[in-house]
Structure 1
Amino acid sequence: MLTPFVCFTASTMAAMDVAKQVLIGADYSHKDLAGATFNLSNLREANLSGSDLHGASLYGAKLQDADLSNTDLREATLDSAVLIGTNLRNAVLEGAFAFNTRFTNVVITGADFTDVPMRADQIKSLCGVADGTNPVTGRDTRESLGCN
């Protein structure tokens, strides 16, 4: 009996479900991961730069020192995720859900946080380091956070 040849393409990865996995240092850069599920996964030091994570679920994910620069995180679920030392440079988070997300020592230069619900203490902390303009949306990082 012949075994069918399976080819994983970028569109195949979009439905990927790697919830509750240890993915330390994994390289998912420049991939189509729209709608993917990374719930409760350990993505410490993972490279997701330049990827399409539109509508992806990263609920409770550990993203310490991960690279999310230039990612499309529109309408993604980041609730209860831990972002410590995470690079969000030029990321688009428009409409993402991040109410209980922990942002500590993150790089957010050029990130767009338009319509992202977050706790007031996290917004205040992010406003302290916010700068730049997102190259995709043209929005100012400080304005997208509602900084004064």
Structure 2
Amino acid sequence: MTKRLSVRVWTSVLSVVLCGLLGITAIIGCAPTALALEYNKEILVESDFSGRDLTDSSFTKANLKKSNFSKANLSGVSFFAANLESANFEGANLSNATLDSARFMKANLTNAVLEGAFAANAKFDGAIVDGADFTDVLLRPDEQKKLCKVAKGVNPTTGRDTRDTLFCP
């Protein structure tokens, strides 16, 4: 990771300590929710974000090739135009995420929940979608057809059939 990213992480940790432990939320304007981070345009190839709560964070135009987001909470996250080639999203929560123009080539979306995500112009060539939940996801018709060719399984969190959530014939 870059030095700039390390400084940002330590700043976030310090903010959480000051806000949570010292109870000075009114003085420095802390919110009681998860801290949203910005990784826009960062080169984060092979980064490990597994199991993290990244609610409402932004990875716009970031290079996240081969990164690990397994079991991460990515609700409301922006992956606009991000390179997510061969990234691992197994069991991740991508509900209400912005995935527009993102590249999920060969990404692992096994058992991921994408409910309500905006994925217009996203590319899923070679993606693994076993057990993924695409309920109310806005997809291009050609991408939806590609996904239907490989879709199978039931999402263990929502209990929904992947093919049903994609409206496969």
TM-score (norm 2): 0.81
Q: Percent identity?
A: 45
Report deviation, 1:14.
3.5
Aligned residue number for residue 121 of structure 1: 142
Q: Aligned in 2, Cα 1:126/1:26: closer, same or farther, shift over 3 Å? A: same
**Is 1:69–1:89's contact at 8 Å kept on the other side of the alignment?**
yes
Between structures 1 and 2, the one with greater helix share: 2
* Cα separation, partners in 2 of 1:20 and 1:114, compared to 1, 3 Å: same
Runs of 5+ unmatched residues, structure 2: 1-9, 17-31
2:35 equivalent to 1:14: yes
The letter of the residue matching 1:89 is T
Conservation of the 8 A alpha-carbon contact between 1:25 and 1:47: yes
**1:32-111 to 2 correspondences below 5 Å:** 32-111=53-132
Structure (1 or 2) with the larger CA radius of gyration: 2
Do the aligned partners of residues 7 and 55 (structure 1) sit closer, same or farther apart at CA in structure 2, a change above 3 Å counting?
Answer: closer
Q: C-alpha separation between the residues in 2 aligned to 1:78 and 1:116?
A: 10
The CA distance in 1 between the partners of 2:165 and 2:126, in whole Å, is 19
- Which residue of 120, 133, 141 corresponds with 2:162? 141
CA displacement at 1:7 relative to structure 2: 6.7
Distance 1:21 1:7 in 2: 17
TM (normalized to structure 1)?
A: 0.92
* Higher RCO, Cα 8 Å, sep 6+: 1
For the residue of structure 1 that corresponds to 2:144, the secondary structure is helix
Instruction: Quote the Cα distance in structure 1 between the aligned partners of 2:136 and 2:77.
Output: 17
CA RMSD of aligned residues (A): 1.6
Cα distance in 1 for partners of 2:168, 2:127 equals 16
State the distance in 2 between where 1:48 and 1:96 align. 16
Matched AA of 1:63: L
- What secondary structure does 2:104 align onto? strand
Rounded Cα–Cα distance in structure 2 between residues aligned with 1:119 and 1:105: 16
The answer as to whether partners of 1:13 and 1:36 remain within 8 angstroms in 2 is: no
The gaps in structure 1 that reach 5 residues or longer are none
Kindly tell me the number of residue pairs found equivalent between the two proteins.
143
Q: Is the 8 A contact 2:12 2:35 kept in 1?
A: no
Distance in structure 1 (CA, Å) of the matches to 2:119 and 2:36 = 22
